[in-house]
Amino acid sequence: MPCHPDTKQAIDYLLGVVPIIISFAVAFIAWAQYKTNKNKLRLDLYNRRFAVYDKTLAYYQAYYSSDLDNEALRESATDFVRAYRESSFLFGRESSVYKALTEIKDTFGFLVEFDAKFGSESYDKDEFRAWSKIKASKKDPTKLMESLEQALKPWLDFQEIEK
């Protein structure tokens, strides 16, 4: 059965155009996957960075909460230290966030040790005075949390994440 010349031209035309259309479709799908993966990476980073703040806040609250026992404080301290170590990769060691977290780690570490040492048992008055001087030189933990929140603003700005 012979093919009509117009039909043969139409088939040749389709065979020439279809690969081009498929190429555009594949390119569009690749671009859409790129955008999706880029946004997912941004969201994952946002979540990991926010988790650092969340664990820091839990440690802060555990220290000041009178209804939590030492076990809860130790657990939140362990979670915080893990988040602190991770923060060097998420923010960089030179970032203001890492520096604020370092100050929080050092201050709360000292305060927990101070409370444990001078909380209930008898102690040497001279040693207490020396430790109290160091305690007085430490920044207020609330101010430390505020400085951390300020340092985190550019990292956790969700409008920037969406761009």
Nearest alpha carbon to residue 115 among 78, 81, 66, 56: 66
Look at residue 141 in the predicted model and tell me its pLDDT. 92
Regarding pTM above 0.95, the answer is no
Per-residue pLDDT tens digits for 36-90: 999 999 899 999 999 999 999 999 999 988 655 688 888 999 999 999 999 999 9
DSSP code, position 140: P
Using the structure block, give the residue that is written with the tokens 């030179």: 94
Q: Quick one: tokens of 52?
A: 């650092």
Radius of gyration of the chain (CA): 29
Using the structure block, give the residue that is written with the tokens 């555990």: 62
Using the structure block, give the residue that is written with the tokens 């101010």: 143
Spell out the domain ranges in the chain: 9-162
pLDDT of residue 161 exceeding 70: no
Q: How far apart are CA 14 and CA 20, in angstroms?
A: 10
- For residue 150, give the amino acid letter: Q
